[in-house]
Amino acid sequence: MDTVQPESPSSTLPRMRIPVGISACLMGMEVRHDKGHKHSRYCTEVLAPYFEFRSLCPEMGAGMPAPRKAMHLVEPDPDSGTEALRLLTTDGERDCTAQMQDFIDRTLESLAPLRGYILMAKSPSCGMERIRVYNAAGNVQRRDASGLFAAALAERYPLMPLEEEGRLNDATLRENFIERVYLYEDWCQMVERGLTAQQLIDFHSRHKFQLLAHCQKTYRELGPMLANMKARPLEDIAGDYIHAVMVAMKKRVSRGAHVNTLQHLAGFLRKDLGEADLALINEQIDAYLREEVPLVVPMTLLRGALRKTDQPYLAQQCYLSPYPDPLGLRNRV
């Protein structure tokens, strides 16, 4: 495996590549119904040094050839007694639902080591959202479904960060997804080491400012949840905690929320820095609020100031460096 050693105030970032699932067509594999691909250079060239991609095509995995007939999702037969969508070829000649379900049943458990998944949009198997559903006559009934594999993946692994490749073109969504992958990796590593009350508190401590930025309501609620570890079984507390965290982390961080978080961080440094250093930091926070500079500018100043102080609480904050710097994600938000 390749190694990456990003500069970071947090010792929790993994050095090895993180296992992330991806639709095989995005890796350039000719697995689509027309034997084509949807090669994503961002995934294979930018993310590959950090993510150990594990590619999968549900349709090929289910035994379907390439090329093959195009497929779409169809409303269930009224006489079937089920509300499950069917996967049919667009000419209506073949029902591939059972074949796909068999693949899903055989495959889902093996995906537990993954820390995220990048899916192909608009696919009746891999599409994450807004997938068309047709009736038996071939007319669109709605556009609110997920592909069969994507839906099963989300149900089986509700904490796992999922995203469609096309949405990674949005700088905010891209930064959000990758931030969630690294946080989820940190959580999974902690659980694998053996969950303890102290480890849960330490996890919360180092991700506190990320939560503040993403959702102040969740930030305020989680502290009391962890205040009394003897009130309930630790596994129950941890389960409720990480569910709330991952829901909060899906929320886009507004510019104002970043400013609030940056000002909180700067407040910790007030006694340790000179007036000139503090003034410069606050000037650049204000410039970020006015959209004159990207987030990386005040963030870099804060990280530089941190090196001049003895602030172990701030030094562990993943908000300051939630993923490897060379990804350059905060240059665009």
Segments making up each domain of the chain, as ranges: 18-169, 171-333
Q: Which residue has the higher pLDDT, 235 or 83?
A: 235
Q: pLDDT-derived band of residue 78, with 50, 70 and 90 as boundaries? A: confident
Q: pLDDT-derived band of residue 97, with 50, 70 and 90 as boundaries? A: very high
Please say if the pLDDT value at position 13 is more than 80. no
**Which of the residue ranges 155-159, 267-271, 324-328 would you say has the lowest mean pLDDT?**
267-271
Give the side-chain half-sphere CA count within 13 A for 26.
29
Q: pLDDT tens digits, residue range 276-293? A: 999 999 999 999 999 999
pLDDT at 7: 36
Per-position b or e across 216-245, b if 16+ CB within 10 A of its CB: eebbeebeebbeebeeeeeeebbeebbebb
Mean pLDDT score, 289-318: 94
Task: With beta carbons less than 8 A apart as the criterion, state whether 75 and 85 touch.
Answer: yes
pLDDT at 83: 80
Please say if the pLDDT value at position 69 is more than 60. yes
Strands (E), the chain: 18-23, 51-56, 71-74, 86-89, 117-119, 131-134, 140-145, 162-164
pLDDT at 116: 98
- From 224, 250, 38, select the one nearest 123 (Cα to Cα): 38
Q: pLDDT-derived band of residue 252, with 50, 70 and 90 as boundaries? A: very high
Q: What percent of the chain has pLDDT over 90?
A: 89
| CA–CA distance, 125 with 60 (Å, rounded to integer) | 11
Q: pLDDT-derived band of residue 9, with 50, 70 and 90 as boundaries? A: very low
pLDDT at 261: 98
Max CA distance (Å), the chain: 76
Q: pLDDT-derived band of residue 79, with 50, 70 and 90 as boundaries? A: confident
Q: Rounded mean pLDDT of the chain?
A: 93
Residue type, 111: L
pLDDT at 48: 97
Residues contacting 66, CB < 8 A, separation 6+? 30, 31, 32, 33, 35, 60
Q: What percent of the chain has pLDDT over 70?
A: 95
User: How many other CB atoms are there within 10 angstroms of residue 145's CB atom?
Assistant: 19
pLDDT at 5: 31
- From 333, 206, 316, 319, select the one nearest 263 (Cα to Cα): 319
Please say if the pLDDT value at position 12 is more than 70. no
Please say if the pLDDT value at position 1 is more than 50. no
| CA–CA distance, 208 with 217 (Å, rounded to integer) | 12
| CA–CA distance, 249 with 241 (Å, rounded to integer) | 12
The partner residues of 74 in beta bridges, in order of sequence, read 86, 134
